[in-house]
Chain A
């Protein structure tokens, strides 16, 4: 009896010793923000692996395509193009696919950006460019002529929006990728193309779920414990100013540990523009992880509604480590009150910069949407824009909150390969004279879009859950009226 228990303990010990020493190593590295380059190596290796898997998949797709096209040839004599070499066809198709679905890459991005820049003086930048070419003489309303064909543009635009629109697809994962990353959830049509690829996928699955995931979960629990213990420590043992000083380090260490939970590989660019105390930092929003990513390099005061549940607990605990601004749900409607609170906060130059995601909702990292003007009304301090660009090859960081709960999302992230992300700090911006807060918000958004390679959209992220305001339709109608008048 005693021997078996001893044996069990030995086995546990044998398993635990490397695990514990590994965690201690990772934790101390995390706390000091050091890296042995293992994650970099890991990601590069993965990169090669994905390329290999994609190559096999492509080859298989070619052969299937060619089978189909020869079938079609016998039945219908229409598709002459299919006779041309397959590889050529493929290269023809690929840019179309990329430009139409992920406008991040290549020319289409510039096109869209330019279009938006030139149009940014207009109220909404949507799909009415067709109408705007016609500007000519003014005429009295009485000789307005309506032709039956005038409905053509709106009809086509409507149909095009039904098939593919610019907004709704920003709220679901960006699906198509140039390479397949051996995660089933990121590939829409995962078919078992070859045994080799399936085997690779399976090995990857085992590694992700049975090795990476438990270890990451363990780290996550340590991180949360660290947060709770340090919060209690700060709450009962230290005076206020000392509290904030220690809080700064505790916060950074916490987030560094948490970032390792997702094997985050973060590259910071232009660190000279890191937000200073007594200012506001704005960033595009993809997921709750954004906060962790940014906080490994700097500490922020966060602002937001008081939440319930797990989030609420995190909020209350974090309040012990820094000056965060949480307001009641009932107060949230009072925008002036929120702005005043922020103003008050930044006037104290020892206060940490406020971190704000002015989009107000998570967007799938292919675009930036309307920035709510609230924080841009504060002229007392500069605004430090930050562009956060994830590399979705190793795991899609986007949080589709209507589909996954927070914990489900976190598990998805912990079973992804890694979170690879570039953080671009941008030079501080201040409101110019004669600039409204709306224009200023737009200018900051454009800067972030340009740096991160995002499509710059004027649409409100709130459309994820609600319908557009009637004003927008009225604006379209006004445009059409103008066009009729000047025709």
Chain B
């Protein structure tokens, strides 16, 4: 058990993390003990499997994609250490309160969502990328042809410049009606 959880986390690091991310010390400590729990092999970083064995993530249709984004974009070499982990989570602090940092802006939340689609990092969501996500979400419930139709429809509606892909600006525009800051903030971190 992480009985030495708080000892392992250096006081200095703790202060720095808090200042940069806007988390309170308590929150960081809690996240640290969570990180230690997930890190079953006790090696200081999490790999894909560590996250995927959380049942609720495992059954989440987008769970694997989410983990891809986490370990590839926020970690390195398909591992994520505690610092990277906490900076990832800092993105999802509620931004509306007085404590906004560079991490939890509405824009960074949207960027995370955008990255859920844009896996080749060309700042565009193209048809194949959209199809991939769509397939993950509906599974075998819709026929492939139909999925293609739906994807074409979605792109057609949002693509203003006619390159049959969606740029980050177009993405932000379509999500403007959604309160991304609210929807992508985690209650227990606020």
Contacts and interface: CB of A to CB of B under 8 A. Distances in A.
Interface in A134-181: 141-142, 144-169, 172-173, 175
Interface residues of B, number: 69
Given A76-B19, A165-B54, A477-B137, A184 B3 contact: yes
Interface stretch (A187-195, A256-264, A265-273, A372-380): A187-195
B139 A478 contact: yes
A145 B150 contact: yes
Contacts, number: 183
Contacts of A147: 154, 174
Contacts of B34: 163-164
A473 B61 contact: yes
B133 interface: yes
A167 B55 contact: yes
23 contacts: A79-B98, A126-B59, A144-B146, A146-B151, A146-B153, A148-B166, A149-B174, A149-B175, A151-B133, A154-B62, A154-B137, A155-B62, A157-B56, A158-B62, A161-B56, A162-B54, A163-B34, A474-B139, A476-B61, A477-B137, A477-B138, A477-B140, A484-B138
Interface in B131-153: 133-134, 137-142, 146, 149-151, 153
B148 to A, nearest CB: 12
Interface in B8-30: 18-19, 22, 25-26, 29
Interface of B: 1-3, 5-6, 18-19, 22, 25-26, 29, 31, 33-34, 37-38, 51-63, 66, 70, 89, 92, 98-99, 112-113, 116-117, 125, 130, 133-134, 137-142, 146, 149-151, 153-154, 158, 166, 171, 174-175, 177-178, 180, 183-184, 186-189
A125 to B, nearest CB: 12
Interface in A104-146: 124, 126-127, 141-142, 144-146
Contacts of B5: 188-189
Q: Which are the 3 A-B pairs with shortest beta-carbon distances? A: A477-B139, A161-B56, A481-B141
A158 B186 contact: no
B60 A476 contact: yes
A146 B151 CA distance: 7
A80 interface: yes
A459 B174 CA distance: 36
Nearest to A80: B98
A290 to B, nearest CB: 22
Interface in A423-467: 459, 463, 467
Nearest to B31: A163
A473 B6 contact: no
A333 interface: no
Contact of B99 (A79, A93, A100): A79
A152 B117 CA distance: 12
B6 A467 contact: no
B153 A145 contact: yes
B178 A149 contact: yes
A167 B146 CA distance: 36
A149 B112 CA distance: 12
B37 A145 contact: no
B58 A473 contact: yes
B1 A151 contact: no
Contacts of A93: 26
A141 B142 contact: yes
Contacts of A83: none
Contact of B6 (A80, A126, A151, A189): A189
A154 B56 CA distance: 11
Contacts of B146: 141-142, 144
A202 interface: no
